[in-house]
């Protein structure tokens, strides 16, 4: 079997890839494990429309009945959003999900793998996984970081969320040689707020320059991803003291309930949403839209180069 035998690329996406038109990959864990229904469906469709309004083609990625789907129908998005059996699939889960013809939503790591198989270079998400707080004891480091080290996809996110150890996450990315770019900022954004107190390596002010960096990196065979961090617009920022309080409480509850492994991120996200009475969810939606806008612009410039 060739890898293409496992892939179902949506005709709109296939046409765009063939004609070297801009395409933006989107993940699906956020749909099935990152947001409650029906906001998850509304957000997934809104993000796709945001990409289209920038004259790029959205390719939401997931695994359905063992097929690697690149570009979903609205029915498939609804299925991912409502079906309890849809598992969170990261790198190690991917071959099992495919071989057993199961369905799964893809994390940043597995979305990067599938995007790269489909030759899509730019991917928009909300937040990446990283080094968790307390990782010196738990060794909980997301497979997203290892994927960024190895797979040639540019990931546009809103920085690292404070459920993670932001400093250790940056150190890990440095060790692995992953460029961390701040879009119009020299400070790493912290997801719900535009500031984290940590510097990024490079402040870059235009999507064109980012596209040039991608071309240069991969032309030089320096494999691996590039992380573009895009601050949440100030109008939608949340007070970091309120967020930190909610996150600290969520982490204590997760410990009390012995939540670990792949369950921890979805657990913390829904707890924080509960504790902030939905404010974190609203901010989450705004920042994903913001990331989809920037990713579309990068994809447009990237596709215009040879
Ligand atoms: N962070 C968020 N929202 C999310 C995730 C992370 O703010 O939905 C999801 C992404 O799909 C990410 C995954 O790739 O969680 C990381 O999970 P883990 O830490 O188990 O690798
Ligand atoms: Mn983990």
For the cut 80, the answer to whether the pLDDT of residue 187 exceeds it is: yes
In terms of average pLDDT, the best of 41-45, 161-165, 243-247 is 41-45
Under the banding of pLDDT at 50, 70 and 90, the label for residue 240 is confident
Residues taking part in catalysis: 27, 161
Under the banding of pLDDT at 50, 70 and 90, the label for residue 239 is confident
For the cut 90, the answer to whether the pLDDT of residue 96 exceeds it is: yes
Tokens representing 159 are: 């920085």
Domain ranges in the chain? 3-303
Average pLDDT of span 162-179:
96
Cβ of 43 below 6 Å from ligand 1: no
CATH number of 3-303: 3.40.1790.10
Mean of per-residue pLDDT scores for the chain? 96
For the cut 80, the answer to whether the pLDDT of residue 178 exceeds it is: yes
Ligand 1 pocket: which of 86, 128, 138, 156 to mutate (most atoms <8 Å of CB)?
A: 128
Closest by CA position to 201, among listed 168, 177, 233: 177
State in Å: Cα 143 to ligand 2 middle: 7
State in Å: Cα 144 to ligand 1 middle: 8
For the cut 90, the answer to whether the pLDDT of residue 290 exceeds it is: yes
N-terminal to C-terminal alpha carbon distance within the chain: 31
Q: What is the pTM of this model?
A: 0.97
For the cut 80, the answer to whether the pLDDT of residue 306 exceeds it is: no
Under the banding of pLDDT at 50, 70 and 90, the label for residue 241 is confident
Query: Residue 68's CB: how many other CB atoms inside 10 A?
Result: 24
State in Å: Cα 262 to ligand 1 middle: 9
Strands 57-64 and 154-157: unpaired
Ligand 2 ion: Cβ-proximal residues, 5 Å cutoff? 140
Which ligand is nearest the CA of 34, by number? 1
Which own/partner contact pairs does 95-100 have at CB distance under 8 Å and 24+ positions apart? Answer: 97/63, 97/66, 98/6, 98/63, 98/66, 98/67, 98/68, 99/66, 100/66
Using CA atoms, how far apart are residues 33 and 84, in angstroms rounded to an integer? 10
Average pLDDT of span 238-261:
93
Q: What is the pLDDT of residues 40-68, one digit of tens each?
A: 999 999 999 999 999 999 999 999 999 99
For the cut 80, the answer to whether the pLDDT of residue 131 exceeds it is: yes
* Protein residue closest via CA to atom 21 of ligand 1: 142
């Amino acid at each position: 079997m060739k890898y293409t035998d496992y892939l179902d690329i949506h005709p709109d996406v296939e046409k765009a890839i063939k004609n070297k038109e801009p395409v933006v990959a989107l993940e699906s864990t956020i749909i099935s494990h990152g947001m409650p229904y029906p906001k998850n469906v509304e957000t997934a469709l809104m993000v796709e429309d945001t990409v289209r309004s920038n004259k790029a083609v959205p390719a939401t990625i997931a695994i359905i009945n063992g097929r690697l789907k690149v570009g979903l129908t609205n029915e498939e998005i609804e299925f991912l959003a409502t079906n309890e059996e849809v598992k969170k699939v990261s790198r190690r889960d991917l071959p099992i999900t495919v071989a057993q013809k199961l369905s799964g939503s893809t994390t940043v790591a597995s979305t990067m793998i599938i995007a790269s198989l489909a030759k899509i270079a730019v991917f928009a998400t909300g937040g990446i996984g990283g080094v968790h707080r307390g990782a010196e004891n738990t060794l909980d480091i997301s497979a997203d970081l290892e994927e960024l080290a190895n797979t040639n996809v540019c990931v546009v996110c809103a920085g690292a969320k404070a459920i993670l150890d932001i400093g250790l996450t940056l150190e890990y990315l440095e060790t692995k040689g992953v460029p961390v770019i701040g879009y119009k900022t020299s400070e790493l954004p912290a997801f719900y707020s535009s500031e984290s107190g940590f510097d990024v390596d490079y402040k870059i002010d235009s999507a064109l320059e980012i596209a040039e960096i991608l071309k240069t990196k991969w032309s030089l065979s320096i494999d691996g991803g590039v992380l573009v961090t895009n601050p949440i617009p100030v109008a939608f920022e949340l007070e970091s003291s309120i967020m930190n309080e909610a996150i600290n409480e969520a982490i204590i509850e997760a410990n009390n309930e012995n939540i670990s492994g792949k369950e921890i991120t979805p657990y913390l996200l829904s707890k924080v949403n509960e504790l902030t009475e939905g404010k974190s969810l609203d901010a989450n939606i705004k920042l994903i839209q913001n990331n989809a806008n920037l990713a579309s612009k990068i994809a447009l410039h990237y596709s215009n180069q040879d």
